[in-house]
Amino acid sequence: MERRSLIIYLVLAIVLAGCTREQKITTSSPEALRCYNEGVDRWKNFYYQEAKSVLDSAISLDSTFAMAWARLALVDEGMRNEAQSKLHIERARRYSSNASRREQLFINMWYHKINYTFKEAVTAADSLIALSPEDAEAHAFRGIMYEEAKDFEAAIRSYERATKVDTGYAPAVMSLGYAYSTMGEQSKAIAQMKRYIRMAPTAADPRASYADLLLRVGMYEEALSQYTKSLELKPDYWYSINQIGNVYIIQGRLREAEEQFHKGLTLLLQSQQLESSHLSADATLNVLRGDYPRAIEQYIRALTIDSTNSGPAYGLVNAFIQMKKFKEADATISRIRVELDRRNLGESQAMLGFFLARARFLTAQGQLMEALAVCDSALDHSSPLTRGVVYRQVAEIRLEQRQYEDAFDACEEALRANPNNPDALLTLMKVYHAKGDLRMTHEIGGRLLEFWKNADADFRHLGDVKKMLAGNRSGVSA
């Protein structure tokens, strides 16, 4: 799964777990309520298959159990099964007439979120907060919506409010950790994730969430250690397995990454959307091997299965650019924009990926001033955590323009949040190489060779480093 998309779904997912303070849930069956509560507990820990199993049992005991249908919809959403998610939240809405006002508002806000009518989702959430100001889950949901709108400070305030009205509400603590990290306040982020671990010491996700923060700032071995500890608590925790695969990708260990992805994806409920993500992961590995024709074939198959999946769409743009198939790349970028508009994401942080794809497309065609202007738009949709990837693209553009000092400045910004980012270091090495600075080319190249010491021989970035160290100015990929 696309990393950014995956991180957003996870943060949304844990918000849904339910407030630790008891709330009245409407059902005709005490046994259905017991299954529902068990399902919420499983959902809180991202144990999707287990959550679905007990929620299905709750519905079999009470087929008009509105909140059970709603939670089932959210399990589907977390696993990218949009069609099932919409079907189940619609059933929840249909059966909610006999539920409490709080339940109706809860279902309504998620109905609108799942159907991309965000303004209405916010209105429902605000109504729920007005009705039940001590509802930590409502405040946490509101924080997520603030993040979607790029108002990170307001999101933090909402998460903090959730922790104040219920000091035992672990999901808000986790969300605070991610939000502080997004704002570049890593010490505060780490403190919240350590608090999250203390609140749920036997659960797998707190360790994995802590590892995510370490991964964001380039502490790769430390992140691997925390993901491993997460798996010691739950060996089949799919998220940690997949995240280890993402670390391996960064390290160029492509075959090991492939094994992790295949293992992790089999631990989720199978769906067309999951099959699409599986193909997209394989295609990304082939891009990193330089096998662009094979990657294009896999990305297209992934999009045929699920045309709404942004991961293979962005990957396809990159592969087309590498093959200099600019007409096809442009058409794919246009389709991405249509999908973003369909989801009412045209002003959200999701636009960062779109503008980056557009900037890379323009750079590859030599339209450098236009590409710089698009990078400005990308920066407008970035955060302190994510703007590094934009500055790396600016450095690539300045390199093409032979404006080396500007390129160095952009590299410095690209490395600010993560000084160990190998992609940004590779761009920096390319700038030194183009300028003819042999000493610094070898210094940065040595760092990268050490970092990629266990990389597969066909990892193309490793080949780029070796070519530059050998003095070959040609054949270095973007």
> Which 3 state secondary structure label does DSSP give 52?
helix
* Superfamily of the domain at 22-133: Tetratricopeptide repeat domain (1.25.40.10)
Q: What is the predicted pLDDT for the residue at 477?
A: 59
- H/E stretch holding 127 reads helix 118-131
Residue type, 297: E
Tell me whether the CATH fold assigned to 22-133 matches the one assigned to 377-478: yes
Residue type, 178: Y
**Residue 416 Cα distances to 23, 182, 355, 386, angstroms:** 45, 13, 21, 10
User: Structure tokens of 91?
Assistant: 């059933």
User: Nearest Cα to 181, choosing from 138, 215, 136?
Assistant: 215
For residues 143 and 12, give the distance between their C-alpha atoms in angstroms, rounded to a whole number. 10
387-400 and 351-364 are packed helices; what angle lies between their axes, rounded to 10 degrees?
Answer: 10
Q: pLDDT tens digits, the chain, 478 residues: what are they?
A: 333 344 333 333 333 333 334 568 999 999 999 999 999 989 888 888 899 999 999 999 999 999 999 999 999 887 778 889 999 999 999 999 999 999 999 999 999 999 999 999 999 999 999 999 999 999 999 999 999 899 999 999 999 999 999 998 899 999 999 999 999 999 999 999 999 999 999 999 999 999 999 999 999 999 999 999 999 999 999 899 999 999 999 999 999 999 999 998 787 767 778 889 889 999 999 999 999 999 999 999 999 998 888 999 999 999 999 999 999 999 999 999 999 999 999 989 899 999 999 999 999 999 999 999 999 999 999 999 999 999 999 999 999 999 999 999 999 999 999 999 999 999 999 999 999 999 999 999 999 999 999 999 999 999 999 999 997 554 455 6
User: Nearest Cα to 270, choosing from 63, 80, 41?
Assistant: 80
Rounded to 5 degrees, φ, ψ at 358 are -65, -40
Give the predicted TM-score (pTM) of the model. 0.89
DSSP 346: T
Q: Within the chain, what is the greatest distance between any pair of CA atoms? A: 76
Q: Which residue has the tokens 């994401």?
A: 345
* Alpha-carbon dihedral sign for residues 240, 244, 249, 250: positive
Rounded to 5 degrees, φ, ψ at 398 are -65, -35
CATH architecture of 377-478: Alpha Horseshoe (1.25)
Domain boundaries, the chain: 22-133, 377-478
Q: What is the predicted pLDDT for the residue at 20?
A: 39
Contact 158, 128 (CB under 8 A): no
User: Nearest Cα to 203, choosing from 428, 50, 335, 92?
Assistant: 50
User: Structure tokens of 297?
Assistant: 């074939």
For residues 148 and 347, give the distance between their C-alpha atoms in angstroms, rounded to a whole number. 9
Q: What is the predicted pLDDT for the residue at 256?
A: 98
